[in-house]
Amino acid sequence: MDMKLRWKKLRMSFRKIIKTTVTFLGCMLMACSLVSCKGVEITGKTEDVKGYTEAECRIVIGSERNRYQNAIGPEIWDLPVKNQHESTYGPYFVSKIKEFLQDIKTLNLLAARTGIIATSTEMDKIRTISNEFYDGLTPEDIAFMGNCTIDDVVHIYTEYFLACKTADYLISDADLEVSDAEVKVIKIQQIECSERAAAENVLELVNVEGANFAYYARQNSEDPEIERTLAKSEKSDAIYTTAFSLEEGQISGIIEEDGKYYIIKVIDAYDEEATLSRKRKLEIALKSKTFFEEYGEYKEQHIVRFRESFWDRIDLNEYSESKADNFFSLFDENIDF
């Protein structure tokens, strides 16, 4: 279940291309080779491929437009954007959708060249969610989505599925497991003093049998925030080094750091929930990095550009009664890898 959740988050991070410009994390350390992306030869050319139909593109545009508009309102499209070619969010949004679909097309080219297909079982699931999505559309939804048909929905869902399946393939051989020891999160209480003599006096008090460390911390610490959460490998200073060497319930000696003197007590040597959360985030980051390294190199050498004129005619203010916004949520709820 955890792997499914992590992969769904990875797919969602891939979809953030819609919101922000993706910065690829660099090429893999095999630049000397003429073969990349799991043995797919790099040819270095602009691909002569057709874009998706207007209806197929408008299905994605419409669902995502409605998702934003249903939550924020149509005024979002007039908000200014900075440091972009577009001056307002509406045209910027359309350009990001276009880039996103170009990436989907690029991943489908890679799928074709590596033999990745949708199985009959997978196609059954795709048809099921396609029917559910299409059956839920109102006449206004269908009109805004380019008078789309069920075949349009099936095709764009299939393309998106193959893109996700290809992304999964690109990271399949990578060692992305993170151990708890690498990301362990602990909780401590600390006492901060400016003078060593004061710290020595407090250290005697807290080491008396039965002493309440938190009480003396509240009474003597110059920093009123006496509880801290520390994550392994986050820092390597004296406080972190000492904290992760202690067992639960242990009290440190005096730690000198940046001209201050500290005494710490570990109150939770393994915060399970926080450790799991940090582990998931790091694994997602590693998967994203691996994916963009593999895919980024292929994309640079296999350029896909949509030149259809309808992109210039898209008006996000049309068909304001259209509300369908579940294209991606239906996929995430029903498709697993």
Query: Is residue 149 one of the residues assigned to a domain?
Result: yes
Query: Is residue 24 one of the residues assigned to a domain?
Result: yes
Token output for 320: 């304001």
Q: Domain check: are 156 and 194 in the same one?
A: no
Mean residue pLDDT of the chain comes to 86
The string over 83-100, giving b where at least 16 C-beta atoms fall within 10 Å of a residue's C-beta and e elsewhere, is eeeeeebbbbbbebbbbb
Q: Domain check: are 11 and 160 in the same one?
A: yes
Residues contacting 77, CB < 8 A, separation 6+: 88, 89, 90, 93, 316, 317
Q: Domain check: are 51 and 157 in the same one?
A: yes
Name the domain count of the chain: 2
Query: Over the stretch 229-274, which tens digit does the pLDDT of each residue have?
Result: 999 988 889 999 999 999 999 999 999 999 999 999 999 999 999 9
| Residue 55 CB coordination number (10 Å) | 20
Query: Rg of the chain's alpha carbons, rounded to an integer?
Result: 27
Rounded to the nearest 5°, which phi and psi values hold at 279?
-60, -45
Tell me which residue of 318, 231, 298 sits closest to 271, measured CA to CA. Answer: 231
**3 state DSSP class of 326:** coil
What average pLDDT does the segment 274-282 reach?
91
Percent with pLDDT over 90 in the chain? 71
Q: Domain check: are 65 and 209 in the same one?
A: no
Would the pLDDT of 8 be above 70? no
Tell me which residue of 94, 149, 158 sits closest to 127, measured CA to CA. Answer: 158
∠ Cα 186 192 193 (to 5°): 160
β-strand partners of 191? 263
Query: Is residue 120 one of the residues assigned to a domain?
Result: yes
Would the pLDDT of 10 be above 60? no
Query: What is residue 28's predicted lDDT score, i.e. its pLDDT?
Result: 24
Query: Is residue 278 one of the residues assigned to a domain?
Result: no
Q: Domain check: are 9 and 133 in the same one?
A: yes
Query: What is residue 180's predicted lDDT score, i.e. its pLDDT?
Result: 86
Q: Domain check: are 119 and 19 in the same one?
A: yes
Query: Is residue 33 one of the residues assigned to a domain?
Result: yes
Find the Cα–Cα–Cα–Cα dihedral 262, 263, 267, 268, rounded to 10°: 50
Would the pLDDT of 206 be above 50? yes
Q: Domain check: are 99 and 15 in the same one?
A: yes
Last residue of a domain, one of 269, 286, 304: 269
Tell me which residue of 184, 260, 190 sits closest to 228, measured CA to CA. Answer: 190
Query: Over the stretch 139-182, which tens digit does the pLDDT of each residue have?
Result: 999 999 999 999 999 999 999 999 999 988 888 877 777 888 88
Full domain range(s) for residue 81:
2-176+296-331
Token output for 111: 């799928």
Model-level pTM?
0.67
Token output for 306: 């949509």
Query: What is residue 33's predicted lDDT score, i.e. its pLDDT?
Result: 26
Query: Over the stretch 25-48, which tens digit does the pLDDT of each residue have?
Result: 222 222 222 233 444 444 456 667
**3 state DSSP class of 66:** helix
What average pLDDT does the segment 83-95 reach?
94
Query: What is residue 12's predicted lDDT score, i.e. its pLDDT?
Result: 52
What average pLDDT does the segment 124-136 reach?
98
Listed range (209-218, 297-306, 313-322) with the worst mean pLDDT: 297-306
